[in-house]
Structure 1
Amino acid sequence: MIQAILLSILVVAICTAIHYGTLKTVSDAIARGGNTKRGRHLALTVGAVTTAHVIEALVYTAIFLWAARGLGIGELNVPGPETKDVGIMDYFYFSLVNFTTLGRGDLNPDGHLRFITGIEAFHGFLMITASGSFMLQVMGGKVPLTESG
């Protein structure tokens, strides 16, 4: 269990840094662009936030793979009587579904992977909420993460 906790701390730190870096970069670009380009600012924000979320899900995918295949502390399974090999794309799909808190249930973690799964859903919810708040500020003509924002 200690491995799952340490991996969770690591992945939360990495993804939070990625997210903050992305939002800060977008904020700085908006500040340089002036207030007359709201449509461009929103497009930049949507593109950057979407890219950041996909990258964050990829980081979680790498952690899931390392935990399952490297450390052997759990695995990802297809429910039902049939056994099916779960590949890297399945791990990525699982991570995206979990990060967005959709939780379809067509792939199930077991072992200590369940703990990391819970952390990803909670962390994904926080990151998506932060992104939404940031985007609303941009839509309102503000420059988030700045002193004038």
Structure 2
Amino acid sequence: MIQAILLSILVVGICTTIHYFVLKWVSDTIAQRKSTAHGQNLGLAVGAITFAHVIEALIYTLFFLWAVQGLQIGALNASGPTDEPITMMDYFYFSLVNFTTLGRGDLTPLGHLRFLTGIEAFHGFLMITASGSFVLQVMGGGAPLSKKG
């Protein structure tokens, strides 16, 4: 269990840092523009945030693989009958579904992987909520994390 907790702390720290720097870069880029191109600013914000979320889910994927294959503290199983092994793309799909809190249930975590899964859902919810707030501020013409905006 300690390994799962430490993994969770590490992955949350990494992904939160990435998220902050992406939002900060978008905010600074918007603040440097002298125009009122709100549509371009919104496109930049949404594109960068989407990219950040996908990268963050990929990082969780790598941590899931490490937890299962390296540390052997859990497993990821298909919920229905299948003869096909779980692939990297299955882990990535599971991470995306979990990060967005969709929770389809066609793949099931076992063991201490369940803890890391719960942390990802909670952290994903926080990051998506922060992103939504950021986008609303950009839509209002602001550069939320910039001293200029």
TM-score bracket for the superposition, by shorter chain length: over 0.9
Deviates more, 1:34-43 or 1:110-119: 34-43
1:35 and 1:141 in contact (8 A); partners too: no
How far apart are the structure 2 equivalents of 1:86 and 1:51?
25
Cα deviation 1:49-102 (Å, max 9, x = unaligned): 000000000000000000000110001001134443100000000000000000
Give 5+ residue unaligned stretches, structure 1. Answer: none
Cα deviation 1:106-138 (Å, max 9, x = unaligned): 000000000000000000000000000000000
**Structure 1 equivalent of residue 135 of structure 2:** 135
Shift of 1:141: 0.6
Shift of 1:35: 4.3
**Structure 1 equivalent of residue 120 of structure 2:** 120
Runs of 4+ in 1 over 4 A off after TM superposition: none
CA RMSD of aligned residues (A): 1.0
Cα deviation 1:17-73 (Å, max 9, x = unaligned): 000000000000000012411111000001000000000000000000000001100
How far apart are the structure 1 equivalents of 2:81 and 2:17?
41
Deviates more, 1:30-39 or 1:134-143: 30-39
Which residues in structure 2 correspond to 1:1-149 (within 5 Å)?
1-149=1-149
How far apart are the structure 1 equivalents of 2:34 and 2:55?
28
Q: What secondary structure is seen at the aligned counterpart in 2 of 1:108?
A: strand
How far apart are the structure 2 equivalents of 1:80 and 1:36?
52
1:15 and 1:56 in contact (8 A); partners too: yes
How far apart are the structure 2 equivalents of 1:82 and 1:37?
51
Give 5+ residue unaligned stretches, structure 2. Answer: none
Shift of 1:143: 1.2
TM-score, with structure 2 as normaliser? 0.97
Q: What secondary structure is seen at the aligned counterpart in 1 of 2:145?
A: coil
Share of identical aligned residues, percent? 71
